[in-house]
């Protein structure tokens, strides 16, 4: 490991330890927030290579343009329904989705008036800006980075790929006396796990999920998910909210066999289950409980209307027609490999799901020919 990277991790560990010293204990969610997003030091904020072959993981938009070109087919009729529509992307990563979807929408004559990006990582924002600058001006000039959640009314689409899985989670376990919350203490310079009671507001959020779990079951949830969604969607007057991510509906998420939760870390394309190693140098993530996400959107008056697998979604949007059979063999081979990664059940096809909700938007959203709302 190079010295600069090792120093970043040490500085972050020092900061976490200092915060624990000040407060006595911190929640796992706070630890995860610092490990991922602490300005200048966290995994997403310190300028490390995260995406792609030399990074730690690959996302659908980073495999190539097929994902964004399919999504454009779903977005086009929604955007075309409004005057001056906005496409708001949460957590735009390296900016590939933004660039590819704008090119595809341009080809369909369905460009949004504005493309807003809301990104928490200053480092990734810089990478996004570089990619967007390389677009033709009639596309790049539509892209704006928001400093905080939208504060003006808009019609259009709110979209995020692999953003919800990157939100910090509270870890809990069931005991004979109710749920307990994972907290971290500092024991002779080492992080030590302890179980404590939840404060009332979080206990209520957990109780609302109405889970029936056996004693000893460990899992996680995104705290204040409703508030987060409210901030993003409260000024959406009409349109669609869509999330793509790995996860399950509650029956699968809280399956008896998943009794150690879904938290996982990624470093150099290998998964591990130890969030306390390589702090700031590895991704920490949890699968999405889509029932929780759908419930919170419903509470905000959004009409949850579509839930399906990434494979079914992309196939119903005609993914195979993006393969150019007349292309030279190496190009054709690359295209087929990309399509397989996106849709095979052993790759991203089944593990990833698409959840959509509407507000004041009556037309159906392309891509949900097979709808599995009953799995929520
Ligand atoms: C796993 S990456 C996915 C990036 C990109 N969407 C893709 O598919 O390649 C998660 C992204 O979400 C961003 N992010 C995490 N929490 C966020 C939040 N609360 N608001 C906006 N962006 C967030 C991260 O900085 C990062 O850009």
Residues 6+ apart with CB under 8 A from 81: 361, 363
Find the domain containing 356 and state its range. Answer: 60-167+224-375
Look at residue 47 in the predicted model and tell me its pLDDT. Answer: 75
Write the pLDDT tens digit of every residue in 170-228: 999 999 999 999 999 999 888 999 999 999 999 999 999 999 999 999 999 999 999 99
The mean per-residue pLDDT over the stretch 301-312 comes to 97
Q: Is 229 in the pocket of ligand 1 (CB under 6 A)?
A: no
Q: Is 338 in the pocket of ligand 1 (CB under 6 A)?
A: no
**Domains contained in the chain, number:** 2
Q: Is 161 in the pocket of ligand 1 (CB under 6 A)?
A: yes
In a domain, 35, yes or no: no
CATH number, domain containing residue 273:
3.40.50.12710
CA 171 to each of CA 35, 64, 325: distance values in angstroms, whole numbers, following the listed order: 15, 34, 48
User: What distance separates the 2 farthest-apart alpha carbons in the chain?
Assistant: 65
Regarding whether 90 and 229 lie in a shared domain, the answer is yes
Regarding whether 191 and 125 lie in a shared domain, the answer is no
- Provide the percentage of residues in the chain whose pLDDT is more than 90: 90
Residue-averaged pLDDT of the chain: 95
Q: Which residue's CA is the nearest one to ligand 1's atom 11?
A: 91
In a domain, 37, yes or no: no
Atom of ligand 1 nearest to the CA of 37: 25
Look at residue 2 in the predicted model and tell me its pLDDT. Answer: 77
Regarding whether 313 and 185 lie in a shared domain, the answer is no
Distance from residue 321's CA to the centre of ligand 1 (Å) = 29
In a domain, 52, yes or no: no
Atom of ligand 1 nearest to the CA of 62: 9
Distance from residue 270's CA to the centre of ligand 1 (Å) = 20
- Give me the residue label for tokens 């800006």: 129
**In the structure, what pLDDT confidence band is assigned to residue 350 with cuts at 50, 70 and 90?**
very high
pLDDT at 152 over 90: yes
Regarding whether 121 and 266 lie in a shared domain, the answer is yes
Q: Give the ranges where the chain is alpha helix by DSSP (H).
A: 3-23, 28-37, 60-63, 66-80, 96-107, 122-133, 137-140, 200-207, 225-233, 250-253, 290-299, 310-316, 329-343
**In the structure, what pLDDT confidence band is assigned to residue 1 with cuts at 50, 70 and 90?**
low
Q: Which residue's CA is the nearest one to ligand 1's atom 22?
A: 91
Regarding whether 155 and 126 lie in a shared domain, the answer is yes
Distance from residue 124's CA to the centre of ligand 1 (Å) = 9
Q: Is 29 in the pocket of ligand 1 (CB under 6 A)?
A: no
CA 192 to each of CA 29, 105, 179, 260, 276: distance values in angstroms, whole numbers, following the listed order: 15, 50, 19, 18, 10
Q: C-alpha dihedral over 83, 313, 107, 332, to 10 degrees?
A: 170
Regarding whether 133 and 159 lie in a shared domain, the answer is yes
Regarding whether 134 and 87 lie in a shared domain, the answer is yes
The mean per-residue pLDDT over the stretch 60-88 comes to 97
Ligand 1 pocket test, pick from 42, 67, 120, 124 with the greatest ligand atom count within 8 Å of Cβ, gives 120
Distance from residue 178's CA to the centre of ligand 1 (Å) = 33
Regarding whether 280 and 175 lie in a shared domain, the answer is no
In a domain, 105, yes or no: yes
Look at residue 70 in the predicted model and tell me its pLDDT. Answer: 98
Look at residue 256 in the predicted model and tell me its pLDDT. Answer: 93
In a domain, 48, yes or no: no
Q: Which residue's CA is the nearest one to ligand 1's atom 7?
A: 93
Q: Is 118 in the pocket of ligand 1 (CB under 6 A)?
A: yes
**In the structure, what pLDDT confidence band is assigned to residue 56 with cuts at 50, 70 and 90?**
confident
First to last CA, the chain: 43
Look at residue 6 in the predicted model and tell me its pLDDT. Answer: 81
**In the structure, what pLDDT confidence band is assigned to residue 148 with cuts at 50, 70 and 90?**
very high
In a domain, 42, yes or no: no
Q: Is 283 in the pocket of ligand 1 (CB under 6 A)?
A: no
| Single pTM value for the model | 0.96
In a domain, 39, yes or no: no
Regarding whether 199 and 312 lie in a shared domain, the answer is no
Ligand 1 pocket test, pick from 37, 163, 226, 264 with the greatest ligand atom count within 8 Å of Cβ, gives 163
* DSSP per residue, 165-230: GGS--EEEEEETTEEEEEEEEEETTEEEEEEEPPPHHHHHHHHTT-----TT-EEEE-TTHHHHHH
Regarding whether 172 and 23 lie in a shared domain, the answer is yes
- Provide the percentage of residues in the chain whose pLDDT is more than 70: 100
Regarding whether 322 and 197 lie in a shared domain, the answer is no
Q: Supply 202's token pair.
A: 């979080």
Write the pLDDT tens digit of every residue in 317-329: 999 999 999 999 9
- Give me the residue label for tokens 């140098």: 281
Regarding whether 155 and 78 lie in a shared domain, the answer is yes
Write the pLDDT tens digit of every residue in 239-273: 999 999 999 999 999 999 999 999 999 998 889 99
């Amino acid at each position: 490991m190079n010295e600069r990277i090792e120093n970043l991790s040490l500085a972050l560990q020092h900061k976490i330890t200092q915060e624990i010293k000040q407060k006595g204990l911190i929640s796992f969610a706070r630890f995860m927030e610092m490990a991922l997003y602490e300005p200048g030091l966290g995994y997403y904020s310190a300028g490390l290579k995260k995406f792609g072959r030399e990074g730690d993981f690959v996302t659908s938009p980073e495999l190539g343009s097929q994902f964004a070109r399919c999504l454009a087919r779903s977005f086009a009729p929604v955007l075309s329904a409004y005057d001056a529509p906005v496409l708001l992307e949460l957590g735009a990563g390296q900016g590939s989705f933004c660039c590819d979807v704008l090119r595809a929408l341009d080809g369909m004559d369905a460009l949004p008036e504005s493309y807003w990006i809301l990104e928490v990582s200053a480092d990734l924002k810089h990478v996004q800006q570089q990619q967007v600058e390389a677009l033709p001006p009639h596309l790049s000039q539509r892209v704006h980075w928001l400093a905080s959640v939208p504060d003006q009314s808009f019609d259009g689409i709110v979209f995020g790929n692999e953003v919800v899985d990157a939100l910090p989670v509270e870890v809990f376990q069931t005991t004979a006396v109710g749920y307990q919350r994972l907290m971290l203490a500092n024991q002779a310079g080492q992080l030590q796990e302890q179980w404590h009671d939840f404060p009332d507001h979080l206990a209520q959020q957990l109780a609302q999920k109405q889970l029936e779990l056996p004693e000893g079951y460990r899992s996680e949830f995104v705290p204040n998910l409703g508030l987060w969604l409210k901030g993003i969607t409260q000024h959406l007057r009409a349109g669609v909210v869509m999330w793509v991510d790995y996860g399950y509906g509650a029956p699968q998420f809280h399956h008896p066999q998943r009794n150690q939760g879904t938290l996982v870390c990624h470093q150099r394309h290998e998964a591990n289950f130890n969030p306390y190693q390589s702090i700031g140098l590895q991704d920490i993530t949890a699968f999405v409980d889509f029932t929780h996400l759908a419930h919170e959107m419903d509470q905000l008056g959004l009409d949850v209307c579509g839930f399906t697998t990434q494979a079914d979604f992309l196939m119903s949007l005609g993914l195979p027609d993006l393969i150019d059979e007349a292309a030279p063999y190496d190009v054709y081979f690359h295209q087929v490999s990309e399509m397989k990664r996106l849709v095979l059940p052993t790759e991203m096809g089944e593990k990833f799901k698409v959840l959509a909700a509407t507000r004041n938007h009556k037309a159906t959203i392309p891509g949900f020919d097979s709808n599995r709302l009953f799995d929520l």
